[in-house]
């Protein structure tokens, strides 16, 4: 059985999962965190499910080698493609995935219109269709695939005119359709909240699932008697792209300058 002091592995196709990592650290400050940014294979949203499953298996194997007591797929697209596969490969290992916040959005909307910003892969998945079928029968859900957003966020420049223009083009049709609740269906998108604040009226609720994922991780660790008692070790980072790029972005998105190592392709 894993030790309580063992680390938790968190992965994403790139830097978006740092938004989830921050929620985990906020809720579980005693946990030591490992993070793999699979930037050399981004964006997952345009890749095949088989390709994504293979990447997730590779990263899960790495976390096992590092002694991780649990794994978080901080990526909606990776969860859709791979979480069931990983649960079969690693029975008994606490695994937490992501899903767009359809249920809370459907409960929150007053206009009855919910907008979803997400990757193509997430929106086309059977899992997303099942979420709509289960929780959104009484509301109108308007989906907006957002090609290009992830790649721009990966640069770390969250105020660029190109990013602003692209985001505006995706958000405006949702607002025009009357949505009063906006789901951020990709872990990269919470980093766009400052930009969205200037585009979205105050009455529109913007919802993501990072905090819910942290709560689910806490529940699973508690159920398995694996909650760390602290103190936490320093977070460690790996990337399958150029480590220097992630080192440059970390102070912007993570607000710390932690060490970054190369992750074998």
Centre a 10 Å sphere on the Cβ of residue 50 and count the other Cβ atoms it contains: 10
39 in active site: no
179 in active site: no
Helix%, strand%, coil% for the chain, nearest 5 = 45, 15, 40
Cα distance between residue 63 and residue 58, in whole Å: 9
Choose the catalytic residue: 39, 75, 146, 179: 75
Q: What is the 3-state secondary structure (H, E, C) of 173-201?
A: HHHHCCCCEEEECCCCHHHHHHHHHCCCC
CA-CA-CA-CA torsion sign (249, 250, 252, 256): negative
Choose the catalytic residue: 39, 146, 179, 186: 186
SS3 21: helix
Report, as residue numbers or ranges, the catalytic residues. 75, 186
């Amino acid at each position: 059985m894993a030790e309580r002091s063992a680390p938790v592995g968190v992965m994403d196709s790139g830097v978006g999962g740092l938004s989830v990592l921050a929620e985990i650290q906020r809720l579980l400050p005693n946990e030591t965190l490992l993070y793999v940014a699979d930037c050399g294979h981004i964006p997952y949203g345009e890749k095949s499910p088989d390709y994504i499953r293979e990447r997730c298996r590779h990263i899960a194997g790495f976390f096992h080698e590092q002694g991780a007591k649990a794994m978080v797929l901080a990526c909606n697209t990776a969860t859709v493609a791979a979480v069931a596969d990983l649960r079969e490969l690693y029975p008994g290992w606490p695994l937490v995935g992501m899903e767009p916040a359809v249920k809370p959005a459907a409960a929150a909307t007053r206009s009855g219109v919910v907008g979803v910003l997400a990757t193509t892969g997430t929106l086309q998945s059977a899992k997303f269709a099942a979420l709509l079928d289960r929780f959104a029968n009484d509301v109108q859900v308007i989906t907006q695939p957002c090609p290009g957003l992830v790649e721009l966020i990966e640069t770390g420049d969250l105020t660029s005119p190109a990013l602003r223009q692209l985001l505006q083009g995706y958000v405006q049709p949702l607002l025009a359709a009357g949505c009063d609740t906006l789901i951020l269906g990709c872990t990269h998108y919470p980093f766009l909240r400052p930009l969205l604040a200037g585009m979205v009226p105050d009455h529109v609720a913007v919802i993501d699932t990072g905090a819910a994922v942290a709560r689910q991780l806490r529940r699973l660790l508690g159920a398995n008697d694996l909650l760390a008692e602290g103190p936490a070790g320093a977070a460690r980072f790996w990337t399958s792209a150029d480590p220097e790029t992630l080192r440059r972005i970390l102070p912007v998105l993570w607000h710390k300058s932690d060490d970054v190592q190369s992750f074998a392709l």
